[in-house]
């Protein structure tokens, strides 16, 4: 606690520190138990729930810039987790879809992250977890795009 207070009252710095700790932990578990990174897991979940998506749509949901999505999807394609093909209707676009291996990895990752999230909820308590969730949702929705 004392350590955290050191650079505190800078909500933004605190979020960075918390995110770093959690990401490192989650990433280790995901790699060990599902064979994917945390960033890759996020893409897998999106594709699992919503089906085939374009690069730009992935970036919109995950708040990633276009170059980040290109790199992430390329590595996942090499790993055999997703397939990438031209969008026939708009040949500028690239459609990303889960491979069968990707679907299996997504389900394993889902189990891991479900457990991880349950631990967080327990550490925080239901009420604080809900408040945190709402506050982050508001922060995550772009301030310059109130429609979200």
Smallest distance, a second copy to C-beta of residue 114, A: 8
CA distance readout (Å), 61 to 56, 69, 84: 9, 11, 18
Residue 54 lies near DNA (rule: CB under 7 A): yes
Positions in the binding site for a second copy (CB under 8 A): 1-23, 25-26, 38, 42, 45-46, 49-50, 60-64, 113, 116-117, 119-121, 123-124, 128-129, 131-143, 148
Residue 84 lies near DNA (rule: CB under 7 A): yes
* Whether the Cβ atoms of residue 108 and residue 34 lie closer than 8 Å to each other: yes
Which of DNA, a second copy, none does residue 90 bind to, with CB < 5 to 8 Å depending on kind?
A: DNA
H helix and E strand count, the chain: 7, 3
What whole-number distance in Å separates Cα of residue 137 and Cα of residue 70? 25
What whole-number distance in Å separates Cα of residue 62 and Cα of residue 140? 10
Smallest distance, a second copy to C-beta of residue 91, A: 25
Instruction: Tally the residues of the chain.
Output: 148
Q: Which residue's entry shows tokens 């949901």?
A: 61
- CB nearer DNA, residue 9 or residue 92: 92
- CB nearer a second copy, residue 15 or residue 86: 15
Smallest distance, DNA to C-beta of residue 38, A: 7
């Amino acid at each position: 606690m004392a350590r955290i207070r050191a650079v505190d009252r800078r909500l933004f710095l605190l979020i960075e520190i918390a995110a770093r700790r959690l990401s490192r932990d989650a990433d280790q578990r995901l790699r060990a138990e599902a064979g994917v990174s945390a960033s890759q897991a996020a893409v897998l979940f999106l594709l699992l729930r919503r089906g085939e998506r374009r690069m730009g749509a992935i970036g919109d949901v995950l708040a990633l810039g276009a170059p980040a999505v290109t790199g992430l999807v390329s590595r996942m394609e090499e790993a055999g987790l997703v397939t990438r093909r031209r969008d026939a209707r708009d040949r500028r676009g690239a459609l990303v879809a889960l491979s069968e291996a990707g679907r299996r990895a997504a389900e394993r990752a889902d189990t891991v992250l479900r457990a991880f999230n349950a631990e967080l909820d327990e550490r925080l308590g239901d009420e604080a977890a809900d408040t945190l969730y709402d506050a982050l949702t508001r922060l995550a929705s772009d301030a310059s795009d109130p429609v979200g």
